[in-house]
Amino acid sequence: MSRRFLSIGVALPGQSGNRSGAGGQTGVRAGRIPAVSRSADSARIRRCVGSHRARIESAPESPGGEAAVALIFHESPGSASPELLFIERAARDDDPWSGQMAFPGGRRDSGDRDLAETAARETLEEVGVPLPAALGRLDDFSNDGQARRFPEVRRVRVSPFVYELPRRPRPIPNHEVASTVWIPLRWIFDPASASTYLLERDDYRGVFPAFAFRDYKVWGITYRILEGLAEVLGLSLPSTTPYPNDLGGPAQR
Provide the residue ranges of all domains of the chain, joining segments of one domain with +: 42-185+221-236
Q: Can you give the pTM of this predicted structure?
A: 0.83
Over residues 68-82, the pLDDT tens digits come to 999 999 998 888 899
Average pLDDT over residues 191-205: 86
Over residues 14-66, the pLDDT tens digits come to 344 466 544 444 444 434 444 444 458 999 999 999 999 999 988 776 666 89
> Which residue did the predictor score with more confidence, 202 or 5?
202
pLDDT computed for residue 244 by the predictor: 62
Please give the CATH number for the structural domain made up of 42-185+221-236: 3.90.79.10
pLDDT computed for residue 63 by the predictor: 63
pLDDT computed for residue 34 by the predictor: 45
Least confident interval from 86-100, 177-191, 199-213: 86-100
Least confident interval from 78-82, 105-109, 114-118: 78-82
Q: Find residue 153's DSSP bridge partners.
A: none
> Which residue did the predictor score with more confidence, 213 or 78?
213
**Model confidence band, residue 9 (pLDDT cutoffs 50, 70, 90):** very low
